[in-house]
């Protein structure tokens, strides 16, 4: 089973310092069966984005510690292409243009109806799913993954992968430069959490690392001690 065949609720992060708005948005999303997490300032929001995988980010602009545009600019510079829906009280054309120029996918001005926000969310998630389906190859460094033939090649060398190893590698490449913890990996690849006493995740990743990085000077799969794993070309 590949990652594409696993059906899990879309995971959405709300980064909003107005708690009433955040609670309203969360309630609406959860009623639609989305998995939701929250952050009350830009700094915390960016930490969560770097640490976890999300299918969509709802990001307010005016926030303490770090505003939404700074967060957006930072994650896009890191190569994070997660769809972002900006929320703001600002309604001028210049403000909207600036947000879109920074890499926002859509823009919603406060006050808004929750039904409109949910429609925007559905649209962005459909667009994301369509983009993922249209891509036939993924790559990082000299490693290429063919999603049609299920073949992996690194530096001209064909790599033989099991179906779970392929799904795991696809997940890592789609989330490059992002640290993934064991719980997140099991939820997306196996669709449930293993007993915390088992080391099966580490065993699978070690097998994949041997196949992907064995014989190559530059390593792609890295251990983040006490947290999990990250794939990066550096």
Render pLDDT for 69-95 as a digit per residue (tens, 0 to 9). 899 988 888 777 889 998 887 666 666
Distance CA 19, CA 10 (A): 22
pLDDT at site 37: 92
Picking from 133, 151, 173, the residue at the C-terminal end of a domain is 133
Please state the pTM of the whole predicted model: 0.59
98 and 208: one domain?
A: no
Distance CA 144, CA 154 (A): 6
34 and 69: one domain?
A: yes
pLDDT digits (tens, 9 = 90+) for 31-84: 988 989 999 999 999 999 988 888 899 999 888 888 888 999 888 887 778 899
Q: Which letter, b or e, does each residue of 86-106 get, where b requires 16 or more Cβ atoms within 10 Å of its Cβ?
A: bbbeeeeeebbeebeebbbbb
17 and 100: one domain?
A: yes
Residue 92 neighbours by CB under 8 Å, 6+ apart: none
What CATH number should be reported for the domain holding residue 211?
1.10.10.10
89 and 25: one domain?
A: yes
- Collect the ranges in the chain with pLDDT lower than 50: 1-6, 196
141 and 128: one domain?
A: no
- Residue 149 and residue 197 in contact, taking contact as beta carbons nearer than 8 Å: no
129 and 155: one domain?
A: no
pLDDT at site 133: 57
Which residues form the domain of 51?
A: 3-133
């Amino acid at each position: 089973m590949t990652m594409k065949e696993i059906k899990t609720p879309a995971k959405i992060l709300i980064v909003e310092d107005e708690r009433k708005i955040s609670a309203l948005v969360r309630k609406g999303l959860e009623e639609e069966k989305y998995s939701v997490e929250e952050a009350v300032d830009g700094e915390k929001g960016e930490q969560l984005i770097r640490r976890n995988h999300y299918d969509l980010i709802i990001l307010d602009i005016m926030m303490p510690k770090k505003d939404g545009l700074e967060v957006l600019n930072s994650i896009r510079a890191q190569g994070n292409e997660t769809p972002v829906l900006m929320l703001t009280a600002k309604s001028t054309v210049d403000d909207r243009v600036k947000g879109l120029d920074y890499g926002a996918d859509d823009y919603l001005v406060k006050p808004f109806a929750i039904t409109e926000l949910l429609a925007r969310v559905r649209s962005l998630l459909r667009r994301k799913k369509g983009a993922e389906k249209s891509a036939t190859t993924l790559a990082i460094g000299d490693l290429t993954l063919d999603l049609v033939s299920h073949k992996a090649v690194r530096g001209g060398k064909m790599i033989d992968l099991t179906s779970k190893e392929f799904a795991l590698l696809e997940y890592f490449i789609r989330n490059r430069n992002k640290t993934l913890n064991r719980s997140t990996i099991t939820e997306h690849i196996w669709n449930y959490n293993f007993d915390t006493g088992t080391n099966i995740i580490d065993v699978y990743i070690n097998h994949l690392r041997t196949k992907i990085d064995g014989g190559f000077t530059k390593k792609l799969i890295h251990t983040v001690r006490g947290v999990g794993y990250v794939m990066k070309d550096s």
